[in-house]
Each structure stands twice: as C-alpha cells, then as structure tokens.
Structure 1
Amino acid sequence: MDGPRLRSEIARRRTFAIISHPDAGKTTLTEKLLLYSGVLQSAGMVKNRKGKLATSDWMGMEQARGISITSSAMQFAYKDCIINVLDTPGHEDFSEDTFRTLIAADSAIMVLDAGKGVEAQTRKLFDVCRLRGIPILTFINKLDLPGRDPLDLMTELEEALGIQSCAMNWPVGSGRKFRGVVDRRAGELQLFEKTAAGGSKRSEIERIPLDSPKFDERLGAEDAEQVRNELELLEIAGNEFTMERFLAGEVTPTFFGSALTNFGLGPFFDAFVELAPCPSGRTVTRKDGTKEKLPATEPFSAFVFKIQANMDRRHRDCVSFMRICSGSYTPDMQVHHERLGKKVRLARPQSIVAQERHTIEEAFAGDVVGLVGKDLYHIGDTLSLEGGFVHEALPLFQPELFARIAPKNTSDRKRFDKGMKNLITEGAVQQVWADVGPRDPMIGAVGKLQFESLQYRLEDEYGVETRLTPLPYECSAWLADNEETFRAPVNSLLAKDKRGRRVVLFKSQLDKRIAAQQNPEHKLLDYA
C-alpha cells in the first residue's frame, strides 16, 4: 500500500479499552457509543433475565447474570475515525483477561461512579495502564443519581491514583437536579432534555454561551452565580491540561455525565476522538535479544491477545483476536508465524461486534480483527510479514485459587478433554501439572467466578457436567532460576505450567514469605 494512504488510515484509528469497577456503567457506556455511531438503533444495557441484553455481552452466563465476564472487541466508524473498542470484564475475578486486553490498547477510558468514586478494581486496572504508559480519559458517570461533590471526586482521583485531573466539562446540579454540563473549552452551557424513551435515544441539547443573558434565564440567578464561582475556582486552582502531559500519563482529562440518560455523552465521545492517540508503533524484540520500537508505518505485524472458543455454536469455531501493530492487511496475505517458524495464510479475517461478523478486505495498524481457526494460534503469538522478531510478551499473573476438575461421568472424558484444551488455550484459567498426584488437571484462577464460568461453559458448550475439588493453596509464584537448589516449604507443592516453567504453590502468603527468606538466592515471581 502506498505511504500517504497508509499514514492517513492509521491516523484515523482509535484503539482503546474501557476500565472500571463493576457496576460503574462501563458496558452501558460502550452500548451508547455503539448507539451514537449508528451501529445500534437502541442500546441494550446490561440487565437481568427480564431486561434487555447488552450487545457486547454474548455469552449465556453473561446474559443470565447481567455481568460482563469476557473481553469483547468491536470496530465501527464514528465521525471521521475508525474506533476499535476493547470492552473488558468489570468483575475482578477476570482481571487477567483484562490485563491481556490492555496490552492491545493505545489508550483507556476510566469510568467512575459519581456516588462511589475510586474503587478497588479501578485502582488495579489503573496501575496496569500506568505500567504500560497508556494515557487515560476519565468519565465520571451517574450524575443523574445522588452523588458526591465533583471537587471531592477529583481530589480523591488524584490522591488515590497519583495522577492530576483536569475537568474538561463541569456538571450543573446532580441527581434529580442534574441539568447538564458546562463545556469549559467551548465556553458554553449544554442543557439536556430527557427523551420519552428514557434516554434510549440521543438527548436533546440546548447550547448556551456563558456570557449570554440566556445563561442566567435558563438556570436562575442563584444557580448561575454558583456555576460561575465553581468555574472561576477551577481556572485559578485547577490543573493545566496539555496534550504532552496527557500522553505522558501525567494528567487525565475528566468529564462528567450520565451514560444511562445520554447526558454529556456526545461531547465526551467527540472529545475522545480528538484527544486519544492513534497507533504510534510497538516495541519488539529481535532474535539477537535487542529491542526497538517498530513504527506503525512499517510492514505488517500483529500479535494475538485473546482467544475465544464457540462464539458460533453452529460451527464450534475458535476466534483469535489479533491486534495489528504496523502496516496493513490485504486479502489472503501470507505472514510469518514466529512461534511455529513457518508461513501461514491469513484467510478471511473478520470484524466482530458481539455475535455479528463481517469478512474484511483490508485492515490497518490499530485494528483488532478475528482470525478463525483451531490450534493454529496461541495467546501472545507474533505474526509479521518479515519475521525475525516478537512483540511484547503477554504476562501470566499469579493464580490465587487452585482446584482439580474432572467429568462427573467417565463416558464424557473425550468431550471433557477437548473442552479443557480449548478453554485453557483461550486463557479461561491456567493449568499446571503437579510432580505427584492424580492425573486430573489442576487449574488456577484469580477468582472463584472463573471456576464457575469454566464449569458453565464445559456444560453449556461441550455437554459435560464436572466435579470441582478445591485445593488448599491461596497463592503461587514462578521459580526464576535453578529449581534443584530451591528448598520448598513442607506445605508447598511443586508443579509446572504449560510452558514447562516451575511453579510453586503455597498454602498461605506467610508460607510464601518464609520460602523467599529461606531461599535468598532464588527469585519468586508473581507474574511470568
């Protein structure tokens, strides 16, 4: 492809993840972005069995429980940009899936509940974004409900996360008295009117310049004076926003609104496509061990960050989600598969929105596309036109729960083994093999809900009822060096992961600390 068009297409891309604590409104925000882009006619918010079902939640367990437990990747056009949104699980038990997804993002939207502020899962995900140097935009949600003072929320954000916050708009009222927001950059008040459908369509916006007499008329003299005082305080004591500081992760542009009723969403989405960075290249490691940043305009390269089995029940397929890091895809392109050491043909990559699929004819750096095919791709695989390097490795995180799992009926063993192989490959749980003990797989997870999801999918997708036996281990670590001289505590268990690396399972954090003290010459790693 010619250089000018390649650069133009890459500049249009915005690839981002949405992170939040459960119930902060992350999936609702995603649905509304699809609505504003024209992909949906009405937003399907996450609800229980009696409510509407979210478009981005495709798994039966998600729809039954009203939660998001898998990452989903969706692409669509908004204004003049091509949006690749990575909707991550909000539930902390699926944080490892979220961590992998964040590796594929160029920026993130952090959603906070105006009534609760910064919550535990938000802190964890923010730390991952900071570790990766991902710039973050903040959306403080649920202004239509009783909430905390906006200045208090911004102060907590700064103190809890260690990043400066700059209010790009400012709320007028809250709860039942929420009227709209002031766009500080445009210098105008944006008043909103609810639609008859309760916000399922775009809200009507009345734009009023701050220096217009109508500003006082519409708000009333007392409320107008309070808003002016708050805006003056922000000008004097607020943090400065610059693109340089934003991209460096020093400041987060902060917006207020309500995803449920569409208050503030249009201006927020417009600001996002203006501020969020386009793909700029990724660090790769050459065969000789040297690292370099590969510009986004270089020939095609990509990595696999997520695998999802059985999205199409009719064909029992397996979709590998690929983030293109440089160059462009053309039909039937042959690329070098670094792990396998051979050429593979990228036949019929797909753009996916929930269960809707479309075969694509071209894709560019920043795009996330699905590759259909079993056993060919693993999480972390690098694909490139030229070969000879790998993209940044996707880490495995320390499991905190362990169990053995087996089919209830021995006649289901073949289907059980097939299901376990597929679900382990996509990273639903981690699998380790103990040096001694039963042959049933020993699995590890960050949270209990991962085990429930695994059992649900084995029964729902493979027709196998299973028996789960918890094991008395609550933490683990990878052994970085010579295992022969490692003195393992009596209560620990030695095992190996799927890559053959030594893993030590501990019954308590105290046992883990004692093992580290008794083996000062060894490194115990929480991720690998």
Structure 2
Amino acid sequence: KLDREGKDGFDLLDEIEAKLGLNVMPLSWPVGMGQTFQGVYNLFERKLMLFKPHGKQDDEIIEIRDLSDPQLEKHVGKRAAETLREENEILEEVYPDFNKADYLSGKISPVFFGSAINNFGVKELLDCFIQIAPNPLPRTTEERVVNPDEDKFAGFVFKIHANIDPRHRDRIAFMRICSGTFERNTNYLHVRQNRQLRFSNPTSFMAAKKEIVDEAFPGDVVGLYDSGNFKIGDVLTEGEELHFKGIPSFSPEIFRFVENKDPMKYKQFQKGLEQLMDEGVAQLFTREFDGRRIIGVVGNLQFDVIQYRMEGEYGAKVDYEPANFYKACWVTCENKDAFQEFKERRRRDLAVDKDGNLVFLAESAWMLKMAQENHPDVDFHFTSEI
C-alpha cells in the first residue's frame, strides 16, 4: 500500500525478519511513499517503474542500469533521486547479491514493493517469480519415482471441495499434474477404481474466476468435476498403476460427539458429514460399540465451520457434546491373535475412521501409555496416510 503513508521500507523488512523469522531479500525498492510515491526501482532488473496516481497504470518502464545516471532526476526529481541512491547504498551494504540457489533452498525470501489496489508492482513480482521459481519436483510413488519430464501423464488428487458454487452443488477434485500432459476429453485410468474416466470440463481457478482448460502440464493444478469418484490421494494415469505416497492425516487434538438435530434431515446430515470429511475439514470416527460419531479437529474454529456449512450447504443442523479424549491413534498389528485380544479387551475404546481403519481413542496420556505397554505387538500410529 505504498500509495498510502506507512512504515519506512527498512523498518518493514526488519519487522518481517523479526516476526516471521525470514531472511529477506528486497528485489524492488520504493521511490517515495503516500503523497510522494513515484514508483519502484526494480533491483532485480535494474529498471525504474513510474506510478500514476488516480489513474490507470501503464507499462512505462525506464531502464536505468546505474543509479548515478542523470536520467533518474529527470523522471523523479532531484530529492527523490538522491534518497533512492542513498537507500540503495545501504541495501548493497546490508543485503548480498541475489543468489538463486539460496532462494530455491529456502534460505532467503524475496520481497517486492508496490500498490496492490492499483495493480502496481504486481507484474514485476510475477515476472520475477516465473524466472526464478523452481521446476516441478519428482514425486515418489510406491512403485517408483515419477519425474516431471516424463512423456506419460500422471497426477494425483490432493484436495476435494464440495459446493464450490452453491447454485450448482458441484464437487471439485483438485488434481496436481506430476508428469506428461493432461488433455481434455481424453480417457485416463483411475487407479483405485481400475476404470477409465474422461473429463469434458477440466477447470483452472484464479480467485473467483474459473475457465475450462484444454491441457495442463507438470506443476499445474486442475479442477475436475466429481460425482463421488474421487478421494484424496487418488491417482490418474495413462494406464500405469501408480500409488503416490499419501497425504498424512494427523491425529486430532480436540474431540466432540456430533448429533443430527433434526431426524427429518438424516439424509442431508449423512451426506454433509461424508462430503465435508472427504474434503479433510475434520476427521470423523465412529465408535465400534455404540455407533456414536466423534469429530476430531486441531482447532475449535473447525467445529464452527462444520456447523455453518452443514446448515448453509446441506440444510442439516448439528449439535455437539463434549468428548473427553486425549488422542486418537491408528492401530495395526501383524500378529492376528494379539490383535484380536487387543480388540476384545479394548472394545469400548475403539472406533473406525471414514475409510474403515481401526482407531484407538485414549482418554488420557496414562491410558495410552498403559495400552502400549500391555499390547507390545500392536503398533500405535499418530498419522495415517490417506
């Protein structure tokens, strides 16, 4: 918001470093601020971009490789030119030259200045990002490593969102392209279901805008209209059976029993819970011995989100009751007899998640510790791969 008065550029950088723990690297620098804001100097490309207040920004860019060039005074005035030169000297002393390897390894965070509401300085950020951003990385599957430069297409679903447009009740599966080229109206193998699917309206999203795409490439994210075929972690390929390493589900920390408030809306309640859990909004556990449903979350706000979306999108009202659990652990065991004994002894403490995996609900840290000691053959997992 450099068209408004605010903190000095150096103070802003110091605050980012102190509060966010980032090593910043300014790649553009403001010329003035507020009433005196005249533009930004692109340190990355050594170019001056002039700002036009109260008007549409144009592409007026003046190449000034050396700030001692008298051209600078001509465009911004003597005082602003002197200030920019002085500040640039400080920048050169404090910050080393930009090193792409340091950026790619996460050691430095580039910073750009501008005025977002006027769409000024944004293009420079995006242009630089295109130049320096990393290429898509190889992805590990259970079978092999998939490289982005492979010819054959492979991608996996990492997010599902229901009712993205409330008027159409659509459900979108977001897929990341890992290799090859994804093409519209082409048959691809849905590995989990072992059947061919074709997509006539693959969509790309940018904020509230969406458009149909004819093809997409490694690193791209495509939205696929879904009638219930997809789960998070599902894979599409040109025919090869691949299973990408799953996205981990972490053990929740806060639990509540969830109940349907209106018996006449049971179908809506069931559908809403199912779809929201598929999205990963929270985790649902169904207790084995009495069938009660328990929602587990990381933060209390998630309960409010579920309640709001259940009523607004599905017309189902939910009630919560406190559930005093300390931890939910996924349990597995290679010894069948030991596992059967565990299940019989701990029947009242067991539930299943939405995918049917067995979960142990510990009421306290002591109870969890005792269960681990009394059943050494049983493995307790605090994450579950989707």
Aligned residue for 1:41?
none
Q: Does 1:151 align with 2:45?
A: no
Cα distance in structure 2, aligned partners of 1:447 and 1:217: 56
Mapped pair 1:232 → 2:232? no
C-alpha contact 2:146 2:178 (8 A) present in aligned 1: no
The answer to whether structure 1 residue 405 and structure 2 residue 264 are counterparts is no
Q: How does 1:291-440 map to 2 (within 5 A)?
A: 291-313=144-166, 315-340=168-193, 342-353=194-205, 358-437=211-290, 439-440=291-292
Instruction: Confirm whether residue 498 of structure 1 aligns to residue 347 of structure 2.
Output: no
**What per-residue deviation string (whole Å, max 9, x for no partner) do you get for residues 298-323 of structure 1?**
30111011112233455533221111
1:166 matched to which residue of 2?
25
**Partners of 1:230 and 1:513 in 2: how far apart?**
59
Which residue is equivalent to 1:468? 320
Q: Distance in 2 between the 1:418 and 1:147 partners?
A: 49
CA distance in 1, matches of 2:371, 2:78: 71
Structure 1 residues 480 and 404, CA, compared in 2 at 3 Å: closer, same or farther?
A: closer
Deviation at 1:327? 1.0
Contact 2:283–2:295 (8 Å) recurs in 1: yes
Partner SS, residue 391 of structure 1: coil
User: Take 1:505 and 1:330, find their aligned partners in 2: how far apart are those partners?
Assistant: 45
Shift of 1:381: 0.6
Question: Cα gap change, 1:373/1:468 in structure 2, threshold over 3 Å: closer, same or farther?
Answer: same
SS at match of 2:257: strand
Q: Distance in 1 between matches of 2:172 and 2:201?
A: 10
Q: Deviations over 1:221-262 (max 9, x none)?
A: 444333212211222331332323322223222212232233
Report how far residue 144 of structure 1 moved: 4.0
Give the 3-state SS of the residue equivalent to 2:265 in structure 1: helix
CA distance in 1, matches of 2:267, 2:68: 73
Match of 1:46 in 2: none
Q: Which secondary structure state, in structure 1, belongs to the residue aligned with residue 284 of structure 2?
A: strand
TM-score (norm 2): 0.80
Aligned-pair CA distance for 1:517: 9.3
SS of residue paired to 2:117: coil
Amino acid across the alignment from 1:410: P
Any unmatched runs of 5+ in structure 2? none
Aligned with 2:295 (options 427, 434, 443): 443
The separation in 1 between residues aligned to 2:47 and 2:91, in whole angstroms, is: 15
Structure number with higher relative contact order (C-alpha < 8 Å, ≥ 6 residues apart)? 1
Deviations 1:482-514 (A, max 9, x none): 59699xxx9x9653322344445566xxx4488
Task: Provide the rounded CA distance (Å) in 1 between the counterparts of 2:255 and 2:35.
Answer: 47
One-letter code aligned to 2:163: N
Q: Give the one of 60, 66, 70 matched to 1:213.
A: 70
User: SS state of the match for residue 272, structure 1?
Assistant: helix
**Separation (CA, whole Å) in 2 of partners of 1:219 and 1:356:** 37
- Asked whether 1:182 is paired with 2:41, we answer yes
Contact 1:338 1:381 in 2 (8 A): yes
Partner amino acid, structure 1, of 2:251: Q
User: Structure 1 residue 280: deviation in Å?
Assistant: 4.6
Give the corresponding residue for 2:142: 285
Amino acid at match of 2:353: D
Equivalent pair of 2:330/2:384 in contact (CA under 8 Å): no
Assess, with a 3 A threshold, how the Cα gap between structure 1 residues 505 and 212 changes in structure 2: closer, same or farther: farther
1:6-52 Cα shifts (integer Å, max 9, x gaps): xxxxxxxxxxxxxxxxxxxxxxxxxxxxxxxxxxxxxxxxxxxxxxx
The one-letter code of the counterpart of 1:169 is S
CA distance in 2, matches of 1:235, 1:414: 65
Which segment drifts farther, 404-413 or 447-456? 447-456
* Among candidates 264, 267, 271, match of residue 121 of structure 2: 264
Which secondary structure does the structure 1 equivalent of 2:247 belong to? coil
Shift of 1:375: 2.0
* Cα gap change, 1:364 to 1:190, in 2 (>3 Å): closer
Cα pair 1:404 1:441 within 8 Å, conserved? yes
TM normalised by structure 1 equals 0.61
Deviation string, structure 1 residues 362-397 (Cα, Å, up to 9, x no partner): 333233222223221101111111323222311213
How large is the Cα RMSD of the aligned pairs? 3.5
Indicate the structure (1 or 2) with the bigger Cα radius of gyration. Answer: 2
How many angstroms apart in 2 are the aligned matches of 1:145 and 1:399? Answer: 43
* C-alpha contact 1:191 1:206 (8 A) present in aligned 2: yes
- Counterpart secondary structure, 1:227: helix
Letter of the structure 2 residue corresponding to residue 189 of structure 1: L
Closer/same/farther in 2, CA of residues 179 and 355 from structure 1, 3 Å limit: closer
Distance 1:304 1:149, change over 3 A: same
Post-superposition shift, 1:478? 2.8
Matches within 5 A, 1:197-212: 201-202=56-57, 205=60, 207=62, 209=64, 210-212=67-69
1:240-251 to structure 2, matched below 5 A, reads: 240-251=97-108
Unaligned runs of 5+ in 1: 1-141
